[in-house]
Amino acid sequence: MLKKFIPTLIMAWLLAGCATSPTGRSQLIAMPDAQINQMGLQAFSALKNQKPISRNPQFNRLTHCIANAITQQTGGNWEVVVFQDKTFNAFALPGNKIGVHSGLIQLLGGNADQLAAVIGHEVGHVLAKHSNERASQQMVVQQGMGIIQQTALGQNPTTLGLLGLGAQYGVLMPFSRTQESEADIIGQDLMSKAGFDPRQSITLWQKMESASQGQQSVEFMSTHPAHATRIQELQQHMPQAMALFQQSQTAGRQPRCN
């Protein structure tokens, strides 16, 4: 019931804000880019005030070299910051901001191709406007729940709770896994175009799987695909990525960031 009810309820909003991602996927984009970019700028500024910034010259040279090579393929001016943080994380925000944690660089042993896969993935989120898409989805679900509360269904606490779960696991989380998979493919193409070996994207996720030590949630209950799923999808896309990599090599794009 929920799988049919929720999409029917929000169909009008989906039609009103329909857009297309870089991979050709239909998206709900309902918020102005300028507003989302401003949110990204504010969030990045707050992070720089809250988190220590790494002064490690090797980490900074490596990260800036990789990020510059990748963003040359996207255009625009990007700010890149290495944060002193032991967690295995990196991110990119609307407004062309990139952050990399020192713990991730250490985990990857300074491997430029593997770090390029991560940075390419994060830049892919920005290029595909995933932040706008997520904010738009949440706005639609909240508005939809508000409408339900005014109906007979909304007078039953049990029904309303089930509808909330349906919205969470039937709309928001699956979209998030879709966005992660899409960013993997966009990132693999970006790193290949920039001259990084896309085969290292497989090694990256094998390392991440090992580092997670079996702590990843069940895929249905997670906003990220299982590591095995990511690896399979990247392997399936590898022929296209390798073709782009060969073209970049022929064109002389061979970044030496290590």
The pLDDT tens digits for 161-199 are 433 444 344 444 555 888 899 999 999 999 999 999 999
Query: Does the structure show a pLDDT above 90 at 214?
Result: no
Confidence grade of residue 209 (pLDDT, cut at 50, 70, 90): confident
Q: Diameter of the chain by CA atoms?
A: 65
Which residues are designated catalytic? 122
Mean pLDDT over each residue of the chain, to the nearest integer: 82
Cβ(192)–Cβ(127) below 8 Å: no
Percent of the chain with pLDDT over 70: 76
Query: Does the structure show a pLDDT above 90 at 136?
Result: no
Q: Domain extents for the chain?
A: 35-250
| pLDDT score, position 31 | 83
Span 70-99, pLDDT tens digits: 999 999 999 999 999 999 999 999 999 999
Average pLDDT over residues 220-249: 88
Question: Strands of 97-101's sheet, edge to edge?
Answer: 79-83, 97-101, 90-93
Instruction: Report which of 201, 234, 182, 235 is spatially closest to residue 22, judged by C-alpha positions.
Output: 182
Cβ(178)–Cβ(130) below 8 Å: no
| pLDDT score, position 131 | 86
Span 29-71, pLDDT tens digits: 888 899 889 999 999 999 999 999 999 999 999 999 999 999 9
Task: Locate all alpha helices (DSSP H) within 150-226, ordered by sequence.
Answer: 157-167, 173-194, 200-212
Q: Can you give the length of the chain in residues? A: 258
Confidence grade of residue 144 (pLDDT, cut at 50, 70, 90): low
Average pLDDT over residues 112-132: 94
Q: Are strands 97-101 and 79-83 parallel, antiparallel or unpaired?
A: parallel
| pLDDT score, position 120 | 97
| pLDDT score, position 143 | 57
Both tokens assigned to 236: 């399936």
Cβ(12)–Cβ(69) below 8 Å: no
| pLDDT score, position 254 | 93
Say whether 27 sits in a helix, a strand or coil: strand
Cβ(186)–Cβ(124) below 8 Å: yes
Say whether 97 sits in a helix, a strand or coil: strand
Cβ(23)–Cβ(187) below 8 Å: no
Confidence grade of residue 146 (pLDDT, cut at 50, 70, 90): low
| pLDDT score, position 97 | 96
Which of 3-17, 200-214, 228-242 is predicted with the least confidence, judged by mean pLDDT?
Answer: 3-17
Confidence grade of residue 134 (pLDDT, cut at 50, 70, 90): confident
Confidence grade of residue 231 (pLDDT, cut at 50, 70, 90): very high
Helix, strand, coil % in the chain, rounded to nearest 5: 65, 10, 25
C-alpha pair distances (Å), 171 with each of 18, 45, 99, 164: 16, 31, 28, 10
